[in-house]
Amino acid sequence: MANRSGKVIVSPSALAADFLHLDKEIEMINASDADWLHIDVMDGVFVPNISMGSPVIKSISQALRKPMDVHLMIVDPGRYVNMFRDLGATLLNVHYEACTHLHRVVQQIRDAGMRPAVTLNPATPVSVLEDIISDIDMVLLMSVNPGFGGQKFIVNTLRRIERLRKLIDSRGANALIEIDGGINGETGAQCVSAGADVLVAGSYVFASADPMAAIRTLKSL
Ligand code: DX5
Ligand code: ZN
């Protein structure tokens, strides 16, 4: 089953960038075929790691000429919706597992002028989205356990993509399917043939000798 958007959307993950030379990394993204930049925010509570906060994201946002796809790995993300709007997020991903009132948080994101997306951990069934799928712009399926870059792709994700694609189509919904974790040319191709629309890639892009070519490879899948 091919993805519906026709062309793969590529969202390199800044978590794997060289933070000492972020200006060069953002220039590379601006000049590349990347569609978005993926920003991972970790609080050390929802996931066992801490990543970047508002000062760094603000600097990125000032230099970036592409939409920011922000992935919040934090508890109770509804508290920070307006902060991420002010930081320039276009898409705001919140974890299903981190929201007691998911519908309210999705509404808050929409009302703040951003595109709401819901993220699922690898063990959370895609069926939990049945009653919210028509209200969101994207589902982010984690293909690794969140918290760290450079992990191995979980192959069961492919079956999850197929099930999610069926759910979206059966409801006539428009949500994009984004995959995050362990994406390279090979796993990316498998995700796209299973029905993914958006690929996040951290180490595959930023640890590559030629990041722009790695982005082109993903874009051509
Ligand atoms: C993991 C993050 C990912 C990470 C992906 O918790 O959500 O976005 O940066 O890194 P790679 O592509 O190296 O698996
Ligand atoms: Zn992410």
- Model confidence over 117-126: pLDDT tens digits? 999 999 999 9
| Mean pLDDT for all residues in the chain | 97
Q: Say yes or no to pLDDT of 112 above 70.
A: yes
Residue 4 belongs to some domain of the structure: no
Tally of domains in the chain:
1
Residue identifier of the C-alpha nearest atom 6 of ligand 1 = 146
Residue of 146, 149, 178 whose CA lies nearest to 161: 178
* Ligand nearest to C-alpha 181: 1
Q: What is the pLDDT of residue 87?
A: 98
Is position 14 within any domain? yes
Mutation to probe ligand 1, out of 144, 191, 204 (largest number of atoms < 8 A from CB): 144
Distances in Å between the Cα of 76 and the Cα atoms of 56, 62, 108 are 21, 27, 13
Residue 131 located in a structural domain: yes
Mean pLDDT, residues 166-171: 98
Query: Is 167 within the bounds of a domain?
Result: yes
Residue-range definition of the domain harbouring residue 136: 9-219
In a domain, 3, yes or no: no
pLDDT-above-70 percentage for the chain? 98
Residue 102 covered by a domain: yes
Closest ligand to the CA of 151: 1
pLDDT at position 94 over 80: yes
Which pLDDT value is given to residue 1?
39
Tell me, yes or no, if the pTM score tops 0.85. yes
Q: Is residue 44 part of a domain?
A: yes
Whether 2 maps to a domain, the answer reads: no
The pLDDT score that the predictor gives to residue 2 is 43
The pLDDT score that the predictor gives to residue 6 is 72
Query: Which SS3 state, helix, strand or coil, does residue 214 take?
Result: helix
Q: What is the CATH number of the domain that holds 161?
A: 3.20.20.70
